[in-house]
């Protein structure tokens, strides 16, 4: 099965309720890091997660 991840999924599926943008970012960050830990044996997924994390950090700064 193909494994695709995007920030939208991290935001929508994992963050419910009314969060401030800072809480939202913290939540996304926490979820990405948790998945990195969970999939650390799978280099393909880890690579995608690292890419996603970099993308997220760039978005956060803009």
11-55 pLDDT, tens digit per residue, is 665 555 666 778 878 888 888 999 999 999 999 999 999 998 998
Distance CA 41, CA 30 (A): 19
Taking 50 as the threshold, does the pLDDT of residue 1 lie above it? no
Q: How many angstroms from the chain centroid is the CA of residue 51?
A: 10
Q: What is the pTM of this model?
A: 0.67
Q: Does 22 or 1 have the greater pLDDT score?
A: 22
- All structural domains of the chain with their residue ranges: 7-61
* Residues 40, 27 contacting (CB under 8 angstroms): no
- pLDDT band at 7, cuts 50/70/90? low
């Amino acid at each position: 099965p193909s494994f695709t991840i995007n920030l939208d999924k991290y935001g929508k599926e994992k963050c419910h309720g009314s969060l401030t943008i800072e809480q939202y970012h913290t939540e996304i960050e926490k979820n990405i890091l948790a998945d990195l830990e969970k999939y650390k044996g799978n280099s393909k997924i880890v690579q995608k997660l690292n890419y996603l994390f970099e993308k997220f950090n760039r978005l956060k700064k803009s």
